[in-house]
Amino acid sequence: MKALVPVKRVLDYNVKPRIKADGTGVDLSNVKMSMNPFDEIAVEEAIRLKEKGVVTEIVAVSIGEAKAQETLRTALAMGADRAILVTAEGTVEPLAVAKILKGIVAEESPELVILGKQAIDDDNNQTGQMLAGLLGWAQGTFASKVEAADGEVRVTREVDGGLETDLLKLPAIITTDLRLNEPRYASLPNIMKAKSKPLANKTPADYGVDTAPRISIVKVTEPSKRQAGSKVADVDELVTKLAALGIAKS
Amino acid sequence: MKCLVLVEHDGKTVRDATLSAVTAASKLGQVDLLVAGEGVGPVAEAAAKIAGAGTVYVADDAAYAHQLAENIAPLAVELMGEHDAFVCPATTNGKNIAPRVAALLDVMQVSDVLSIEGPDTFTRPIYAGNAIATVKTSDPKLVLTVRGTAFEKAAAEGGSGQVQPAQSTGDKGLSRFENAEIAQNARPELTSAKIIVSGGRALQNSENFHSLIEPLADKLGAAVGASRAAVDAGYVPNDYQVGQTGKIVAPDVYIAVGISGAIQHLAGMKDSKIIVAINKDADAPIFQVADIGLVGDLFKVVPELTEKL
Ligand SMILES: Cc1cc2nc3c(=O)[nH]c(=O)nc-3n(C[C@H](O)[C@H](O)[C@H](O)COP(=O)(O)OP(=O)(O)OC[C@H]3O[C@@H](n4cnc5c(N)ncnc54)[C@H](O)[C@@H]3O)c2cc1C
Ligand SMILES: Nc1ncnc2c1ncn2[C@@H]1O[C@H](COP(=O)(O)O)[C@@H](O)[C@H]1O
């Protein structure tokens, strides 16, 4: 079966975001951008399913500015077979991303779409569920284990109380949680090979999708800062302080 | 505005996260509630007692027994014909269901709402809470997930909602629940605990975690949390994780033991009233947000603290 893996280019998770002075957003000029960490896990999972003979072809997709091509090359270097870049300026919201992905699904007919559970820039956690809704497919969100099971896929999900396992009819949507796997690094030869793997260029119009945002940003501000307090010298002093808070008897 | 709040429950009782969502919805307008499940009569009765409850729609069907999004979303969409806003707690259950409903209604969801600034304007965290965005939606209907720690809980008693059956939309046959490993925990629940003791990678193994963190938590009647590093290393199960991608907590007192204070961890606990940090590295970033810091070796300090409390 074919697997489609949407990957987003985001501010690298190690970089502390800087808010623009005019309060319109986070400054993304001259900062390190990387593949969304959950999407690396999605690519890795697709590769593992291919190594197990469950998946036969992996198609990576990214929607965003032209530079998202770098993110797709990373996916190709990890082991995706080919890529589709849907070029769009500005913010493309999860609903529009899901509609574009629906168009790609119609063309590609994958049996699995593996997405990250959330993009760590906008922290929306929506796209996979929306795509599943638009397609009328089963959804296995926040996956920590994925197993092929005779026309179905068994997904163990990280839920608030612990773990839940569901069986999904194929085709299905999966969104990845952090413990699903540990993504591989691309080797140098694979990075070289990725340069010649096919990458198709598309636009949202090719799928008839209007990407005009439904949500506008009024402003972006710093969260209220915490002041560092004081250090105590020893456990006795800590106990006294805790007692003053009414939670311990000294 | 007519809001429909998804009631989160365990089949018997209403979960606290629902109460915060009710408070958020009440700032927008009328609050109706949706109880979906199997044999959920008692849940519906409890939901009707929540202060401010209007109509309590009860969809009692085996199709809803395990809260499968594939079955609950169409039900919510039906009821949204007569409502203007669908409001869910930002729990894993709410996050699983709400976006599917939003897509079916062709609206953008506003995730993890922190405050309601107007009928179409909200604040929400982005970049792991390193920035707060004020956003305005132009969609005709609202779909919101609401951060529990950002809204007071509505009173669980005193309301007089009217329970009304809702027509089942049936089993879509797309997915099946197989099993769940839900941690049985005698301790307070993380997201509503007054005191939390959390342990990090420094605990080194599961035995140390249990023999050092748990007695301290027991002394304080606290819930137990962990950093991702501690969860990944298998010291504790995944539902202990606090942070950007784990649980968001805001207790009166948060005690971080052997946790460095990575931004992804801080994202989940920096709204705690008082933060106490124990770390052997005086320069650990956790001290930049801690009200009370103790520089020391946890293997020495924690037993002494537990003893002296
Ligand atoms: C996409 C993404 C999402 C993430 N989400 C989360 C999340 O939700 N929650 C989360 O917690 N992390 C999350 N992380 C991971 C995060 O970046 C950190 O790696 C993690 O929080 C580190 O955990 P830690 O503080 O326990 O370990 P470390 O960073 O290794 O810190 C251990 C600390 O213990 C101290 N120490 C060591 N020995 C002792 C001793 N004997 N006594 C006292 N102190 C000692 C050290 O000085 C150090 O400060 C995420 C990462 C990514 C990429
Ligand atoms: N612009 C995009 N291009 C490709 N994939 C995306 C894009 N936006 C979101 N996704 C996918 O959807 C997941 C969830 O994103 P979100 O709903 O924005 O938090 C991500 O982890 C990606 O797999």
Contacts of A117 (CB under 8 A, 6+ apart): A38, A125, A128, A141, A142, A175, A176, A177, B245
User: What phi-psi label fits residue A215: left (phi over 0), alpha (psi between -120 and 50 degrees) or beta?
Assistant: beta
Residue A84 near residue A59, CB atoms below 8 Å: yes
Q: Is the Cβ of B275 closer than 8 Å to some Cβ of chain A?
A: yes
Q: Do A250 and B308 touch (CB under 8 A)?
A: yes
Q: Does ligand 1 have an atom closer than 6 angstroms to the CB of B280?
A: yes
Cα B207 to Cα B190, B211, B221: the distances in Å are: 21, 6, 20
Q: Is the Cβ of B141 closer than 8 Å to some Cβ of chain A?
A: no
Q: Which atom of ligand 2 is nearest to the CA of A116?
A: 21
Cα A166 to Cα A144, A147, A163, A242, B71: the distances in Å are: 12, 11, 10, 44, 13
Q: What's the CA gap between B126 and B13, in Å, rounded? A: 32
* Closest Cα to atom 19 of ligand 1: B229
Could you read off the pLDDT tens digit of each residue along chain B, which spans 309 residues?
A: 999 999 999 999 999 999 999 999 999 999 999 999 999 999 999 999 999 999 999 999 999 999 999 999 999 999 999 999 999 999 999 999 999 999 999 999 999 999 999 999 999 999 999 999 999 999 999 999 999 999 999 999 999 999 999 999 999 999 999 999 987 777 888 988 999 999 999 999 999 999 999 999 999 999 999 999 999 999 999 899 999 889 999 999 999 999 999 999 999 999 999 999 999 999 999 999 999 999 999 999 999 999 998
- Which of helix, strand or coil describes residue A87? strand
Residue B69 near residue B43, CB atoms below 8 Å: no
* CA atoms within a 13 Å half-sphere pointing along the CA-CB vector of B147: 27
Q: What percent of chain B has pLDDT over 70?
A: 100
User: Residue A250: what pLDDT?
Assistant: 42
User: Residue A226: what pLDDT?
Assistant: 86
- Helices A68-78 and A37-51 cross at an angle (nearest 10°) of 30
Cα A149 to Cα A111, A146, A152, A155, B23: the distances in Å are: 13, 10, 5, 10, 43
Q: Do A220 and B295 touch (CB under 8 A)?
A: no
Match 């500015």 to its residue by tokens. Answer: A65
Could you read off the pLDDT tens digit of each residue along chain A, which spans 250 residues?
A: 999 999 999 999 999 999 999 999 999 999 999 999 999 999 999 999 999 999 999 999 999 999 999 999 999 999 999 999 999 999 999 999 999 999 999 999 999 999 999 999 999 999 999 999 999 999 999 999 999 988 899 999 999 888 999 999 999 999 999 999 999 999 999 999 999 999 999 999 999 999 999 999 999 999 988 888 999 999 999 999 999 988 765 4
Q: Do A144 and B183 touch (CB under 8 A)?
A: no
Q: How far away, in angstroms, is A78 Cα from ligand 2 center?
A: 18
pLDDT tens figures, A15-24: 999 999 999 9
Q: Which of A39, A105, A113, A125 is best to mutate for the B interface (most B CBs within 10 A)?
A: A125
Q: How far away, in angstroms, is B91 Cα from ligand 1 center?
A: 23
Q: Does ligand 1 have an atom closer than 6 angstroms to the CB of B35?
A: no
Name the residue facing B131 among A19, A169, A177 (closest C-beta). Answer: A19
User: Residue B37: what pLDDT?
Assistant: 98
- Which B residues, 49 through 108, put their C-beta within 8 Å of a C-beta on chain A? 66, 68-70, 73, 91-93, 95-104, 106-108
The β-bridge partners of B223 are: B196
Task: Among B249, B259, B301, B304, name the best residue to mutate to test ligand 1's pocket (greatest count of ligand atoms within 8 A of Cβ).
Answer: B259
Closest residue in A to B196 (Cα) is: A247
User: Residue A227: what pLDDT?
Assistant: 85
Q: How far away, in angstroms, is B174 Cα from ligand 2 center?
A: 23
- Strands B115-118 and B223-226 come out as unpaired
Amino acid identity, position A105? V
pLDDT tens figures, A60-109: 999 999 999 999 999 999 999 999 999 999 999 999 999 999 999 999 99
Cα B187 to Cα A226, B205, B206, B217, B255: the distances in Å are: 28, 21, 18, 9, 16
Chain B residues touching A178 at Cβ < 8 A: 228, 232, 245
Amino acid identity, position B75? L
CATH of domain B2-165: 3.40.50.620
Name the residue facing B127 among A17, A140, A158 (closest C-beta). Answer: A17
- The pTM of this model reads 0.94
- Residue B243, annotated as binding a ligand: yes
For chain A, the domains span 2-223
Chain A residues touching B137 at Cβ < 8 A: 214-216
Task: Among B112, B224, B227, B254, name the best residue to mutate to test ligand 1's pocket (greatest count of ligand atoms within 8 A of Cβ).
Answer: B227
- Which of helix, strand or coil describes residue A217? strand
Q: How far away, in angstroms, is A151 Cα from ligand 1 center?
A: 40
Q: Is the Cβ of B283 closer than 8 Å to some Cβ of chain A?
A: no
The β-bridge partners of B53 are: B31
Question: In chain A, where does DSSP find H-type helix?
Answer: 37-51, 68-78, 94-108, 127-135, 188-194, 235-244
Q: CATH 3.40.50.1220 in chain B, residues? A: 195-308
pLDDT tens figures, B27-74: 999 999 999 999 999 999 999 999 999 999 999 999 999 999 999 999
Q: CATH 3.40.50.620 in chain B, residues? A: 2-165
Q: What percent of chain A has pLDDT over 70?
A: 99
Q: What's the CA gap between A136 and B282, in Å, rounded? A: 53
Give me Rg for the CA atoms of chain A: 21
Q: Which of B228, B245, B270 is best to mutate for the A interface (most A CBs within 10 A)?
A: B245
Give me Rg for the CA atoms of chain B: 21
* Closest Cα to atom 23 of ligand 1: B229
* Closest Cα to atom 47 of ligand 1: B281
- Residue B111, annotated as binding a ligand: no
Closest residue in B to A170 (Cα) is: B174
Q: Does ligand 2 have an atom closer than 6 angstroms to the CB of A39?
A: yes
Q: Which atom of ligand 1 is nearest to the CA of A120?
A: 1
ipTM reported for the complex, 2 dp: 0.95
pLDDT tens figures, B176-210: 999 999 877 778 889 889 999 999 999 999 999 99
Query: Domain A2-223 falls in which CATH fold?
Result: Rossmann fold (3.40.50)
Residue A134 phi, psi dihedral angles, 5° rounding: -65, -35
Contacts of A192 (CB under 8 A, 6+ apart): none
- Which of helix, strand or coil describes residue B241? strand
Query: Domain B195-308 falls in which CATH fold?
Result: Rossmann fold (3.40.50)
- B66/chain A closest Cα distance in angstroms: 10
Name the residue facing B176 among A16, A166, A247 (closest C-beta). Answer: A166
